[in-house]
Amino acid sequence: MKNYPPSDDFIKTRIQRYCAYQERCSRDVEAKLNEWKVPTGKINKIIKELKEADFLDDNRFARIFVHGKFSINQWGRKKIIYELKNKGIPGKIIVIAVEEIDETRYMEVLKTLIKKKIKEIKAGKNLTIREKLINFVLAKGYEFDLILQTLNYLKI
């Protein structure tokens, strides 16, 4: 039995289901279509159709991504921005999405992370507790000046 390439309708239905299951960005969809070995010319056409049918919207993706990564994963702005750039989201869209993070909530999450982490760590031979805290929240993507400001506020 021969293996025929899937029809355009089959591919469209499948990629629409892929987009409907979870919010996707254009690069995710392009990667998935490449994985399915869809020709490049068809990929651009399919992505355009998905955007017109509102299955795909990079603005919406960026806002949802920022909200989820901040609220659930407690990532800082720097890490969120880095990941959005890796996903091919344009800079203007990133700026708008990241600005939606409430500054008061952002600082509360930073304080909570530091307070929680300080209970878990012990000073080692090479690093002090303060240095370990700084490294931890830097890895979460928080800004260095805000970290120092928060550590000073908490008297750590």
pLDDT digits (tens, 9 = 90+) for 82-100: 999 999 999 999 999 999 9
Query: Which range is least confidently modeled, 36-40, 59-63, 78-82, 118-122?
Result: 118-122
Domain containing 27 equals: 8-52
Q: Check residue 6 and report its DSSP letter.
A: P
pLDDT of 125 higher than 80: no
Cα separation, 49 vs 53, in Å, equals 6
Residue 1: pLDDT band with limits 50, 70, 90: very low
Which residue in 155, 116, 153, 154 sits closest to 136, CA to CA?
116
Residue 2 forms part of a structural domain: no
Over 50: is that where the pLDDT of 156 sits?
Answer: yes
- Residue 28 sits in the same domain as residue 70: no
Q: Which residue has the higher pLDDT, 25 or 129?
A: 25
> What is the rounded average pLDDT of the residues 97-115?
96
CA 73, CA 86: separation in Å to the nearest integer? 18
pLDDT, mean of residues 1-15: 72
- Claim to verify: residue 64 and residue 88 sit in the same structural domain: yes
CA angle 67, 99, 23 (to 5 degrees): 35
Total number of domains constituting the chain = 3
Is residue 141 included in any domain, yes or no?
Answer: yes
Residue 60 amino acid letter: R
**This prediction's pTM:** 0.87
Could you tell me if residue 20 is inside a domain?
yes
Q: Is residue 43 part of a domain?
A: yes
